[in-house]
Amino acid sequence: MPEKSRGAALTIFAVLFAVLAISNFLKPFHLDPGAGFVFLGTRLSGVPNIIVAPIFGIILAVYAYGIFAMRKFALPIGIFYAAYVIINMPLFILRYHGSAVMQEHSWAYLIPYPFVAIGVSSGAAVLLYHRKADLA
C-alpha cells in the first residue's frame, strides 16, 4: 500500500513541534533567565522545571515524529496537547495578570501568542483527525 503524503501543513506542524521539543529540553539549562516550563498556568523553576520540561520535550518529540511519519499514535497525543494548551493558556494569564512576569513581554507578543499557540496545537490535531484514515 503506497504511503500518503502528509502535506505541507502537517510537515510544518511536525517541524514546529520538534523545535518546541528542543526548547523544552533546554528550559532546565536556564539559557534565558525568564524561561521556565509553564505547567497548568504556573511557570516552573528548580527541580519541577528540571523534571517536567524534559517530559513534555519527549512528548512533543514523539508527537513530531508521529506527525512526520503519519502514525496513528500522533492523533491522541495531538488531542491531549491541544487540550493542554487550551487549559494552560488562560490559567497562565489569570495567574500572572498584572505581574512582573507579564511585563517581561511586550503586548505585541502577549496578544497574538495565545491565538498562535492554540491555533497551532488545535490545528495540527484537527488536521490529523481529518487525515486519520491515512495514519499507519
Q: What is the pLDDT of residues 58-90, one digit of tens each?
A: 999 999 999 999 999 999 999 999 999 999 988
Helix axes 7-26, 46-68, angle to 10 degrees: 160
Q: How far apart are CA 82 and CA 26, in angstroms?
A: 22
Q: How far apart are CA 124 and CA 126, in angstroms?
A: 5
Task: Quote the DSSP letter at residue 5.
Answer: P
The yes-or-no verdict on residue 131 having pLDDT over 70 is yes
Q: How far apart are CA 94 and CA 101, in angstroms?
A: 12
Look-up of cell digits 491522541: 76
Assign 2 a pLDDT band (cuts: 50, 70, 90): low
Q: How many CB atoms lie within 10 A of CB 38?
A: 21
Read off φ and ψ for residue 96, nearest 5 degrees. -105, 5
Q: What is the pLDDT of residues 45-63, one digit of tens each?
A: 889 999 999 999 999 999 9
Confirm if 25 and 53 have CB atoms less than 8 A apart.
yes
